[in-house]
Amino acid sequence: MLNYLWSGLIIISIVCSIIFENTHDLSQALIESGASSIELILTMAGIMCLWSGIMKIATESGLTAIFAKIFAPLLRPLFPNLDKKSDAFQSITMNISANLLGLGNAATPFGLKAMKELHTLNDHSDTASNEMVIFVVMNTASLQLLPTTLATLRQAYGSAAPFEIIVPVWISSACALAVALIIACSFNIKKRRDATQNLSRKRDRF
């Protein structure tokens, strides 16, 4: 879908530049945007490589177990069926840790691994489990204590104080996460209640 959207935007831009006889500015924008894109990629590559390496060291050194113990009291109510020593729980904690640092790209491998482990624990392979739903919600509306990626983008575009937006980021991400979890947990509770009622009705029939 995104490919179609981007292609449509490019085609509309080209058509508009021809209609309004502004092809010179279009050509100049294409050249400048190509150069700025490479500069942005190189700027972000450094910080991503650094933190991805730190996350890899954390995994190999057993730091993930420490993170699991730290986050266990907070995550236990959200994932009551998961063992805190399991690979799924540790991958979830590392994903959350990376998201707290604003490292979405570094969090992705841990998120994929966590979802894979959750899928193996799911009794209904064609339906997402409650744990999978909660994890997707937490990963999408993640709380960011240190918006590293956003600060890197701001610095790349000339911001004198790239971290000055940190307080609004805290407020907005915390509100988004709270609302998302409330909605997801409410639907999960309703799902369990409906399943219990259906089971009771079947028992009553027999």
Q: What is the mean pLDDT of the segment spanning 60-86?
A: 77
Q: What is the mean pLDDT of the segment spanning 39-56?
A: 73
Q: Which of 73-77, 95-99, 135-139 has the highest mean pLDDT?
A: 135-139
pLDDT at 102 over 70: no
Q: Determine the pLDDT at residue 108.
A: 77
Q: Determine the pLDDT at residue 92.
A: 85
Q: Determine the pLDDT at residue 201.
A: 67
Q: Determine the pLDDT at residue 123.
A: 76
At 128-158, the pLDDT tens digits run 888 888 888 888 887 777 777 778 778 877 8
Q: Determine the pLDDT at residue 19.
A: 84
Q: Determine the pLDDT at residue 204.
A: 62
pLDDT grade, residue 202 (50/70/90)? low
Per-domain residue ranges of the chain = 67-196
Long-range CB pairs of 181-186 (<8 Å, 24+ gap) are 181/78, 181/134, 181/137, 181/138, 181/141, 183/137, 184/133, 184/134, 184/137, 185/78, 185/134
- Residue among 61, 127, 130 nearest 94 (CA): 61
pLDDT at 182 over 70: yes
- 156 phi/psi in degrees, rounded to 5: -65, -30
pLDDT at 174 over 80: yes
Give the HSE-up count for residue 130: Cα atoms under 13 Å, Cβ half-sphere.
18
Q: What is the mean pLDDT of the chain?
A: 79
pLDDT at 164 over 80: yes
**Which range among 31-35, 92-96, 115-119, 156-160 shows the weakest confidence by mean pLDDT?**
31-35
pLDDT at 170 over 80: yes
Give the predicted TM-score (pTM) of the model.
0.63
Strand spans (E) along the chain:
none
